[in-house]
Amino acid sequence: MNMNKEKFRELSMEVLPMIAGIMKVLESKAEGKSAGLHLNTKDGYFSFDLYGTGWEFCRYSNEDKALIRYQYREEIEMLEQAQEKETFNHTMENVIEIAQTFIRMADYNYHLLEIDSTEWKQKFVDWANEFEKEWVDDSARDYLDEIGDFAAEKINDYYLEVKA
């Protein structure tokens, strides 16, 4: 679906009352806590969580039952290790953008998480370097859109390759 500004504005106006309703409930029942909501209408996935509480309300697909779950958390203190600080550069920025794209994609395709995270991390670095070599800055293209599209394609291709 190609979403233009007017279609998005129309959609926003339709969901605004629902968002206001959720915010009102949060204010009265959750003591004003911040919350996150992720939806995928294609397969029925949703996730609703109250930040900082560890609680999540979710369903993975239309065939699954909705459930609440609690993620155990415990702060630990680690000895500070002398580490050489990395310099922030374009490649590091690319890794961050690719990782953020992966997180968004994993929200609606949790099967991506079945692949070991060390494999993904190495791929992110490889793809960040590849994108940096190919990227040519010009006013006609938006960097964030380009890296996002690049990352989504690479992630999908790699997932299909591994699962084949």
User: Which H or E element spans position 28?
Assistant: helix 5-29
Whole-prediction pTM? 0.48
Q: Would the pLDDT of 117 be above 90?
A: no
pLDDT confidence of residue 130: 92
Q: Is 32 left (phi over 0), alpha (psi -120 to 50) or beta?
A: left
pLDDT confidence of residue 27: 86
Quote the percentage of the chain above a pLDDT of 90: 30
Both tokens of 63, joined, read 């065939």
The 10s digit of each residue's pLDDT in 40-53 is 888 899 888 888 88
Q: Would the pLDDT of 6 be above 70?
A: yes
More confident residue, 132 or 79: 132
DSSP string covering 79-135, please?
-----PPPPP-HHHHHHHHHHHHHHHHHHH-GGGGGS-HHHHHHHHHHHHHHHHHH-
Mean pLDDT computed over 102-113: 87
Q: Which of 70-74, 78-82, 131-135, 142-146 has the lowest mean pLDDT?
A: 78-82
Q: Would the pLDDT of 82 be above 70?
A: no
Tell me how far CA of residue 110 lies from CA of 59, 120, 147, in angstroms. 11, 14, 21
